[in-house]
């Protein structure tokens, strides 16, 4: 079969090195000419943020961050950025902190430097997300793509094991969905396969030795590859389902991905056998076996999703089914999938 595709890369500097965040961040301030930074962090990252930005020109330290970026939280952050006349946004934290920086960049065009402390991967995408009421909206815009990423695996050692696993499986979901998402191409798939391989290596090490750096480095490296693949390939069925669950029911992002992923793979896999084979090869066998060995979250009912929520979720998922999904998706299919995810493996 001939190889033919159009692949677009996204311009971004990536600095990767354990223990190097302060030096790397300082280099970015110099390169980007930052003189009035707004540092956006979650409570969990406050101490790390203070340490790695010590001595840098920070005019605002901002902590009003919330999961899935509610519109009113974004508006408050935009006002604060304007009031302090900031010239750059530095996010230090998980996807929620990165997401808020992106929401400010979306309307202001301010450059973002991202220092991730989870494996969510938002730092490597031009995807923004906002939640209004119970509805999560996402879009893409080159302005929200961070100009630079500073990866320091030391910053992730404080992420509790269960959260690390869920977040790592969120990265795995970026990889799996990238195998059949609407714009997938051979480069996305190569990145995704290498990401899955690195996750299969890294995550068991994180579970066995949460303070050890090697497993954290493999997992963080994978998180980047996964997000680059996802940014290029677009959101597949898995992400569309998780966006509905997160936005409508306020379910926690990473655990929701961890629960839903094997059900989407079981649904799409038979219609995309080559992708399913590459996933299995990369993760070393059936995905549920890896998830079980990591004690990944198993059931949506453990996270506040009720069986009675399934019909309204189905109604919201159906119009969002991505074009080109490996197989058609009916209301019955989504109902069965969500019921299985609600009940648990």
| Separation of alpha carbons 130 and 71, rounded Å | 6
| The three-state (H, E, C) secondary structure of the chain, written as one string | CCCCCCCCCCCCEEEECCCCHHHHHHHHHHHHCCCCEEEEECHHHHHHHHHHCCCCCEEEEECCCCCCCEHHHHHHHHHHHHHCCCCEEEEEECHHHHHHHHHHHHHHCCCEEEEECCCCCHHHCCEEEEEECCEEEEEECHHHCCCEEEECHHHHCCCCHHHHHHHHHHHHHHHHHHCCCCCCCHHHHHHHHHHHHHHHHHHHHHHHCCCCHHHHHHHHHHHHHHHHHHHHHCCCHHHHHHHHHHHHHCCCHHHHHHHHHHHHHHHHHHHCHHHHHHHHHHHCCCHHHHHHHCCCCCCHHHHCCCHHHHHHHHHHHHHHCCCCCCCCCCHHHHHHHHHHHHHCC
Work out how close the CB of 256 gets to ligand NAD at its nearest, in angstroms, rounded to a whole number.
10
Q: Is 234:150 a contact under the CB 8 Å cutoff?
A: no
Q: Cα dist. 341→20, 90, 337, 338 in Å?
A: 40, 36, 6, 5
Work out how close the CB of 99 gets to ligand NAD at its nearest, in angstroms, rounded to a whole number.
5
Work out how close the CB of 324 gets to ligand NAD at its nearest, in angstroms, rounded to a whole number.
20
Work out how close the CB of 251 gets to ligand NAD at its nearest, in angstroms, rounded to a whole number.
11
Smaller CB distance to ligand NAD: residue 74 or 163?
163
Smaller CB distance to ligand NAD: residue 160 or 270?
160
Smaller CB distance to ligand NAD: residue 127 or 329?
127
Smaller CB distance to ligand NAD: residue 129 or 269?
129
Work out how close the CB of 162 gets to ligand NAD at its nearest, in angstroms, rounded to a whole number.
10
Work out how close the CB of 320 gets to ligand NAD at its nearest, in angstroms, rounded to a whole number.
15
Work out how close the CB of 260 gets to ligand NAD at its nearest, in angstroms, rounded to a whole number.
14
Smaller CB distance to ligand NAD: residue 169 or 282?
169
Smaller CB distance to ligand NAD: residue 99 or 322?
99
Q: Is 242:160 a contact under the CB 8 Å cutoff?
A: no
Smaller CB distance to ligand NAD: residue 45 or 338?
45
Work out how close the CB of 158 gets to ligand NAD at its nearest, in angstroms, rounded to a whole number.
4
Smaller CB distance to ligand NAD: residue 242 or 265?
242
Q: Which parts of this chain interact with ligand NAD (CB under 6 A)?
A: 42-45, 67-68, 93-97, 99, 117-118, 120-122, 125, 127, 129, 155-156, 158-159, 163, 167, 170, 253-254
């Amino acid at each position: 079969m001939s190889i033919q595709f159009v692949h677009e890369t996204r311009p971004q500097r990536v600095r990767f090195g354990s223990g190097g965040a302060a030096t790397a961040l300082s280099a970015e301030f110099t390169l980007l000419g930052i003189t009035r930074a707004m540092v956006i962090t979650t409570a969990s990252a406050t101490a790390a943020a203070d340490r790695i930005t010590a001595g840098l020109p920070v005019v605002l330290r901002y902590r009003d961050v919330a999961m899935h970026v509610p519109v009113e939280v974004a508006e408050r952050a935009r006002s604060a950025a304007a009031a302090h006349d900031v010239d750059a946004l530095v996010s230090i934290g998980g996807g929620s902190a990165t997401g808020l920086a992106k929401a400010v960049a979306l309307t202001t065009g301010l450059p973002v430097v991202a220092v991730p402390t989870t494996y969510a991967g938002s730092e490597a995408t031009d995807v923004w997300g906002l939640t209004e009421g119970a509805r999560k909206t996402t879009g893409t815009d080159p302005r929200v793509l961070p100009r630079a990423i500073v990866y320091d695996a030391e910053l992730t050692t404080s992420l509790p094991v269960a959260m690390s696993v869920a977040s790592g499986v969120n990265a795995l979901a970026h990889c799996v969905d990238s195998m059949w998402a609407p714009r997938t191409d051979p480069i996305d798939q190569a990145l995704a396969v290498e990401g899955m391989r690195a996750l299969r290596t890294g995550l068991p090490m994180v579970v066995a030795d949460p303070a050890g750096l090697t497993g954290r480095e493999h997992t963080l490296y994978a998180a980047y590859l996964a997000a680059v693949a996802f940014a290029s390939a677009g959101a597949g069925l898995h992400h569309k389902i998780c966006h509905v669950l997160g936005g409508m029911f306020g379910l926690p992002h990473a655990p929701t991905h961890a629960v839903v992923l094997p059900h989407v793979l079981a649904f799409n896999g038979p219609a995309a056998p080559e992708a399913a084979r590459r996933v299995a090869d990369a993760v070393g066998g059936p995905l549920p076996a890896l998830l079980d060995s990591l004690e990944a979250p198993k059931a949506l009912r453990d996270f506040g999703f009720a069986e009675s929520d399934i019909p309204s979720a189905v109604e919201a998922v159906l119009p969002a089914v991505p074009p080109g999904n490996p197989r058609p998706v009916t209301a019955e299919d989504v109902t069965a999938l969500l019921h299985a995810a609600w009940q648990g493996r």
